[in-house]
Structure 1
């Protein structure tokens, strides 16, 4: 079981790296807009400096603190790993990837980023080792305010996008596309990532995510 757990953690971290790559790709294709939280991180970077990845970590830390206040318990360790790893690798990939120009290039790299993001999310949630800070806060909103899951997510996404837009973050048709398409693409990729993890483990594991 310990060997399986170590492999699940490795799979989890690789998924976070893939997700960060997808986010960085959409940043390079930002003429089409960004995902709601990335609009906020981009806007904070534009306004206050630092880096986009740094702001992803900082906002994640604030959310973790607020979540801990609301639940009176600290989140699982996977939340912290998620928060730091994604922020660090966003900056690494943002530095490594070249800038592109023109609507065609931005559209292509944005589309690639969307698929990579979805695959990364499916990859990191498959080992079932904990959601990110924002998903954890969403579950707290559901629990504390009796919201529907979709309503809690929409409130958070809208709030992040509006605040980010005010700070200068890019909001356009791509922002809407991500909101509509990302969840569906994650569902498409989940059976693939589950199959990959089972093969990596050498056996099925009742603790990993189930695909219905």
Structure 2
């Protein structure tokens, strides 16, 4: 059972930030592999092709629209972590895409290897940021909003949102290849392994942090008594 955390905001934010960095690096590897990005990135890239700006900027703008829709459906604002996720992921996408050494491999085998590495890295990054319990991403927030007001199951809702994003992105000229389908199938399987591992790691880090803080308090109280 996953622990519920209260306080410990500093270490949780550090884990959250690291998770977003790792997750976004995986996303960018998948984009650069050029055999099919995730369904939402089909949309972001399609918007970039059609209207300019940057892929990261469109990730943020789409996130803003989704957060507003989620807030209307739930009649409440998402937690601060959702806004940070929306903003930082877009910034990190553009940051990683500017790295000169990240290039599409020439061989198809190289592209597949980069894609699979991106998938695994993306899964571990997702596990890290979720384990910090500072709020889900905007797209997950929309999924939860729809399920909460309709009582529909999470699976069909998530699948429907993914299909809608792909179709809109494809109509805008976004890259839809077999990798998009593989990602949609394997990301859930990957997350089922990475999420428990990352949660154990986070539990360990936060327990050590708590013990360290307690030890400091005991030492300070002792010194004051002396």
Fold similarity call, TM over 0.5: yes
- Out of 11, 18, 25, the residue aligned to residue 22 of structure 2 is 18
Write the distance in 1 (CA, Å) between the matches of 2:207 and 2:143. Answer: 34
What secondary structure sits across from 2:78 in the alignment?
coil
Q: Is the CA contact (8 Å cut-off) linking 1:138 and 1:149 kept in structure 2?
A: yes
Shift of 1:65: 0.7
Counterpart of 2:132 in structure 1 is: 127
Q: Where does 1:1-212 land on structure 2 (aligned, <5 Å)?
A: 4-30=8-34, 32-96=35-99, 97-100=101-104, 101-203=106-208
Q: Structure 2 unaligned runs (5+)?
A: 211-226
2:187 & 2:197 partners in 1: Cα distance? Answer: 16
- Bigger shift: residues 145-154 or 195-204: 195-204
Runs of 4+ in 1 over 2 A off after TM superposition: 1-5, 202-205
Separation in 2, partners of 1:204, 1:198: 10
Rounded Cα–Cα distance in structure 2 between residues aligned with 1:147 and 1:3: 33
Inter-partner Cα distance in structure 1 for 2:171 and 2:197: 38
Cα RMSD (Å) of the superposition? Answer: 1.7
Q: CA deviation at 1:93?
A: 0.6
Aligned length, in residue pairs: 204
Q: Using structure 1 for the length normalisation, give the TM-score.
A: 0.91
Deviation at 1:177, TM superposition (A): 1.1
Taking structure 2 as the reference length, the TM-score comes to 0.85
